[in-house]
Amino acid sequence: MTQRMASLRISGFAARSASAVVLRYGAAIISVAAALGTALILRHNNLPHPFTSFSFAAIAITFWYGGTGPGLLALLLSYLAMTDFFIPVRLSDPSSESYIVIYGIFGLLVSWFSASRRRAERLLTEARDSLEIRVAERTGELGASGSPSCHFRERAAHDAMRLGGRQFAGSGNRGTETVCP
């Protein structure tokens, strides 16, 4: 499927189903709402309400599982919730500006980390698929050579010569000589 998308030049976002996109963005909204709800409940009961910690967790989880777009939405919603419910916004007050800087830096770091993880996953998947193709090709070669054990012995002898002429255990003094029927 990815080869087909690459040949047609379809973006990954367009190739996703609509329900998956709605689910990812919905998770962003729900995670920020849960963080806000928890902080408001704690505030109502006169308990410490670290909304910043809750919102950072919601942002990180959304970036990790939802991707960059939903993560940015969670970042924006968290910042808006912070300024609307917990910090009075004053245009001349530098403290409200510092929150946007802190949220921005956190968002960049989590986005970078999440993108690195997705890239590593993609590369590992490609390597696994390539290896599976190679194994299938080698299996076909072994089946076509007639005697798989003979082919294996010839291959082992060749590898032994390449590694400095060392003999395999149990081969006696025959060296790399192979005898196949």
Residue-wise pLDDT tens digits, 49-96: 688 888 889 999 998 888 888 998 999 998 888 877 777 656 556 666
Confidence of residue 153 (pLDDT cuts 50, 70, 90): low
Predicted model pTM: 0.57
Query: For the chain, what is the radius of gyration of the CA atoms?
Result: 29
* Rounded Cα gap, residues 33 and 78, in angstroms: 9
Q: What pLDDT sits at residue 92?
A: 57
Q: What is the pLDDT of residue 129?
A: 93
Alpha carbon distance, N-terminus to C-terminus of the chain: 45
pLDDT single digits (tens) 18-54:
788 888 899 999 999 999 998 888 888 877 768 888 8
Q: What pLDDT was estimated at residue 41?
A: 87
Secondary structure string (H, E, C) spanning the chain: CHHHHHHHCCCHHHHCCHHHHHHHHHHHHHHHHHHHHHHHHHHHCCCCCCHHHHHHHHHHHHHHHHCHHHHHHHHHHHHHHHHHHHCCCCCCCHHHHHHHHHHHHHHHHHHHHHHHHHHHHHHHHHHHHHHHHHHHHHHHHHHHCCCHHHHHHHHHHHHHHHCCCCCCCCCCCCCCCCCCC
Q: What is the mean pLDDT of residues 117-132?
A: 92
Question: Which pLDDT score is estimated for 119?
Answer: 92
Q: What are phi and psi of 87, to 5 degrees?
A: -125, 125
Between 1 and 134, where is the model more confident? Answer: 134
* C-alpha of 27 from chain center: 18
CA quadruple 19, 21, 26, 31: dihedral sign: positive
